[in-house]
């Protein structure tokens, strides 16, 4: 285990607003990070080629995602670890939307992909200006697991045909699978064997020595074999010529009609980028005690996607797997990512020629490995053990991605995440507090007949009181105070433990005032206890203090009960 993994990062001067993610500089650190960057390039370049298969763009655009976008994020971002490049989730979202507008791989499709990146950058810039980084918190881990699992299934099915040497025309996962099954007798055996060899090499190297770039070995082996045995002449499809040289800087241009169609695609990419990048950056910042500025990271992500759009590639994202790669290689700042960009630039200038011999099935096999790693059954089982309801929400999200579409899947994931937040506040946990003989408070269900002690009910409401749950509050309190037996057992005091109530809106305030009047008619006095300082202004502004009476509003529950028991109230 590395001895420095939990050492705090050195303080960074904020006197400059660019390249703070590489400061402070030291000769030893620069060399160490540069070596990590070379290792990242070796592991990441083959994967970047695979991401183009998911995105539906030319192979060379995979290199472009590892060039200017990495430099742009290093310049404007905050995270010292986050790798911003091609990612399977955003690539799948983009391809799912664009495939209905243009034929994948064509110049027009690539132009649309560039515009999606530019529009995503604009949304990120707006989020930075308005400080909307908190939106990342509204996509739950449960929904993310389901979404990525669905993407894994969808992508793996999409490339199976290529791994077998079969052509599929459908864009729907189930139809693609049926097409492959119907063509099984026509499987190209040499293509299948190459695909199996690539998968085995990648998985074997990952298991035996994760630091050795299995994907790079597989690509090098496949290219060498293709040249040696003339795969193209034996009916095995190869990539063909790959454009060399650095990308041209061009602003993508599309018509207004296409622009409108791209808005929801860019919006879905924006949601995924903010959620996934923020979550990844936080993990590594906490692990290494780094001060993280989420707003700066959003600016860095906007700059990276602008660079992607101008350099002719597709949307980029903060990648958890690639960030783990750079950390495991020893990288401790964005110098590692800058070194990766330099390596990619060298490949573009000098080494694109051999790639034309790469079998297409090898590219499909690499994508298959990427997709399989997205399918997280272990996480689904863990969620199911602790929260079966959340597991089924994750499975539903995955099914929508597979059978309806990736774009719809990310929308559903966000809606389900928000609905879970709403459900916890719409029907929050409630209870009646009861003190046992030893003085310990226990919670019992808030049902008719539950009392704290003769004549007194202490009712706990574990959420902010607002328009959506005010009716629930009123009905439950009304049921609790319904007369139960002789007058000696009647409730005279209804004490609301308001410790979790931090805010009361206008609708809830009207409900409290009306409830107070109804309780008074029944001979029950409403009391508020454990009232926090941030709640008191709401009580005053909405005339609740005036209605209930300040003498029946207490800072602590102990104080309230002491007054009620003494009869001083």
Torsion, Cα 61 65 68 74, to 10 degrees, reads 180
The kind and range of the H/E element at 258 are: helix 256-287
Residue pLDDT tens, the chain, 569 long:
344 444 444 444 444 568 888 887 777 788 889 998 998 898 889 989 999 999 999 999 999 999 999 999 999 998 999 999 999 999 999 999 999 899 999 999 999 999 999 999 999 999 999 887 676 666 778 888 888 899 899 999 999 999 999 988 887 888 999 999 999 999 999 999 999 999 999 999 988 887 788 888 999 999 999 999 999 998 899 999 999 999 999 999 888 888 999 999 999 999 889 888 888 888 788 888 887 788 889 999 999 999 999 999 999 999 887 888 788 778 889 999 999 999 999 999 999 999 999 999 999 999 899 889 889 999 999 999 988 888 988 899 899 989 888 878 878 887 877 777 777 778 889 999 998 878 788 999 999 888 999 899 999 999 899 998 999 999 999 999 887 555 546 889 999 999 999 999 999 999 999 999 999 998 999 999 999 988 999 999 999 999 999 999 999 999 999 999 887 66
Q: Are 309 and 252 in contact (CB under 8 A)?
A: yes
pLDDT at 213: 84
Query: How far apart, in whole angstroms, are the C-alpha atoms of residue 247 and residue 71?
Result: 14
Query: How far apart, in whole angstroms, are the C-alpha atoms of residue 441 and residue 374?
Result: 46
Dihedrals φ, ψ of 458, to 5°?
-105, 115
Q: Quickly list H helices, 436-505.
A: 470-480
Q: Are 105 and 56 in contact (CB under 8 A)?
A: yes
Q: Quickly list H helices, 209-255.
A: 214-229
pLDDT at 98: 94
DSSP state of 552: G
Reading the block at residue 241, the tokens are: 């010529």
Torsion, Cα 371 230 216 190, to 10 degrees, reads 40
Q: Following DSSP, what letter does each residue of 323-346 receive, concatenated?
A: HHHHHHTT--STHHHHHHHHHHHH
Domains of the chain by residue range: 25-420, 430-564
CATH class of 430-564: alpha beta
Query: How far apart, in whole angstroms, are the C-alpha atoms of residue 399 and residue 524?
Result: 52
Q: Which residues contact 358 (CB under 8 A, 6 or more apart)?
A: 49, 219, 222, 223, 226, 238, 239
Residue that has been written with the tokens 């449960």 in this structure: 142
Reading the block at residue 422, the tokens are: 């709403």
Torsion, Cα 238 240 244 250, to 10 degrees, reads -110
Q: Quickly list H helices, 130-213.
A: 141-164, 173-182, 189-208
Query: How far apart, in whole angstroms, are the C-alpha atoms of residue 159 and residue 176?
Result: 9
In 54-113 the beta strands, taken as DSSP E runs, fall at 84-85
- Residue 502: which of 450, 558, 464 has the closest Cα? 464
Residue that has been written with the tokens 């319904």 in this structure: 482
The kind and range of the H/E element at 350 are: helix 335-350
The kind and range of the H/E element at 46 are: helix 27-55
Query: How far apart, in whole angstroms, are the C-alpha atoms of residue 312 and residue 112?
Result: 10
Q: Are 393 and 416 in contact (CB under 8 A)?
A: yes
Q: Are strands 456-461 and 493-497 parallel, antiparallel or unpaired?
A: parallel
Q: Are 35 and 76 in contact (CB under 8 A)?
A: no
235 burial (CB, 10 Å; 0-12 / 13-18 / 19+) is exposed
pLDDT at 5: 41
User: pTM, whole model, 2 decimals?
Assistant: 0.78
Query: How far apart, in whole angstroms, are the C-alpha atoms of residue 563 and residue 551?
Result: 10
- Residue 59: which of 354, 407, 375 has the closest Cα? 354
Residue that has been written with the tokens 């507090």 in this structure: 433
Query: How far apart, in whole angstroms, are the C-alpha atoms of residue 60 and residue 54?
Result: 13
DSSP state of 16: S
Q: How many helices (H) and strands (E) does the chain have?
A: 22, 7
Query: How far apart, in whole angstroms, are the C-alpha atoms of residue 335 and residue 419?
Result: 41
DSSP state of 15: S
Q: Following DSSP, what letter does each residue of 392-432 receive, concatenated?
A: HHHHHHHHHHHHT-HHHHHHHHHHHHHHHHHHHHHS--EEE
Query: How far apart, in whole angstroms, are the C-alpha atoms of residue 184 and residue 544?
Result: 73
pLDDT at 16: 56
Q: Are 56 and 104 in contact (CB under 8 A)?
A: yes
Task: Tabulate helix, strand, coil % of the chain (nearest 5).
Answer: 65, 5, 30
pLDDT at 568: 62
Cα separation values, 280 from 39, 274, 277, 438, Å? 20, 10, 5, 47
């Amino acid at each position: 285990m590395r001895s420095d993994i939990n050492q705090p990062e050195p303080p960074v001067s904020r006197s400059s607003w660019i390249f703070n993610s590489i400061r402070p500089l030291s000769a030893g650190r620069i060399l160490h990070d540069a070596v990590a960057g070379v290792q990242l390039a070796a592991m990441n370049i083959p994967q970047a080629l695979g991401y183009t298969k998911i995105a539906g763009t030319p192979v060379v655009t995979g290199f472009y995602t590892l060039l200017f976008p990495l430099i742009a994020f290093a310049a404007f971002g905050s995270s010292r670890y986050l790798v911003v490049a091609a990612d399977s989730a955003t690539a799948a979202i983009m391809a799912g939307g664009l495939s209905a507008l243009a034929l994948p791989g064509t110049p027009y499709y690539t132009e649309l992909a560039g515009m999606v990146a530019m529009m995503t950058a604009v949304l990120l810039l707006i989020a930075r200006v308005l400080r909307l980084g908190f939106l990342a918190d509204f996509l739950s881990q449960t929904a993310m697991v389901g979404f990525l699992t669905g993407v894994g299934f969808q992508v793996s099915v999409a490339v199976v045909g290529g791994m077998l040497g079969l052509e599929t025309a459908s864009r729907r996962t189930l139809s693609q699978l049926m097409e492959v099954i119907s063509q099984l007798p026509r499987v190209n055996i040499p293509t299948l064997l190459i695909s199996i060899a690539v998968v085995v090499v990648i998985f074997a190297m990952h298991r035996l020595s994760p630091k050795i770039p299995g994907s790079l070995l597989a690509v090098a082996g496949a290219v060498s074999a293709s040249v040696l045995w003339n795969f193209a002449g034996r009916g095995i499809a190869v990539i063909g010529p790959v454009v060399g040289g650095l990308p041209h800087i061009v602003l993508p241009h599309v018509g207004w009609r296409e622009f409108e169609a791209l808005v929801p695609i860019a919006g879905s990419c924006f949601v995924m980028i903010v959620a996934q990048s923020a979550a990844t950056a936080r993990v590594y910042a906490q692990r290494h005690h780094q001060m993280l500025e989420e707003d700066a990271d959003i600016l860095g992500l906007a700059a990276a996607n602008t660079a992607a759009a101008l350099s002719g590639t597709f949307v980029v994202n903060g990648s958890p797997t690639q960030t783990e790669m750079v950390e495991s290689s020893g990288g401790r700042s964005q110098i590692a990512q800058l070194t990766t960009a330099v390596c990619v630039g060298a490949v573009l200038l000098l080494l694109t020629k051999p790639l034309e011999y790469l079998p297409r099935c090898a590219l499909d096999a690499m994508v298959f490995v990427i997709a399989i790693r997205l399918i997280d059954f272990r996480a689904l089982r863990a969620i199911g053990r602790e929260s079966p309801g959340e597991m089924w929400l994750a499975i539903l999200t995955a099914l929508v991605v597979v059978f309806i579409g990736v774009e719809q899947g990310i929308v559903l994931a966000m809606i389900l995440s928000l609905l879970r937040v709403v459900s916890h506040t719409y029907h929050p946990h409630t209870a009646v507090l009861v003190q046992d003989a030893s003085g310990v408070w226990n919670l019992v269900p808030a049902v008719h007949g539950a009392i704290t002690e003769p004549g007194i009910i202490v009712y706990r409401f574990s959420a902010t009181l607002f328009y959506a749950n005010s009716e629930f509050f009123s009905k439950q309190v009304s049921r609790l105070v319904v007369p139960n037996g002789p007058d000696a057992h009647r409730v005279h005091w209804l004490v609301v433990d308001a410790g979790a109530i931090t805010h009361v809106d206008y609708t809830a305030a009207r409900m409290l005032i009306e409830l107070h009047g109804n309780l008074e008619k029944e001979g029950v006095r409403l009391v508020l206890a454990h009232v926090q300082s941030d709640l008191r202004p709401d009580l005053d502004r909405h005339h609740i203090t005036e209605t209930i009476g300040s003498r029946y509003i207490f800072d602590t529950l102990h104080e309230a009960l002491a007054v009620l028991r003494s009869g001083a109230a």
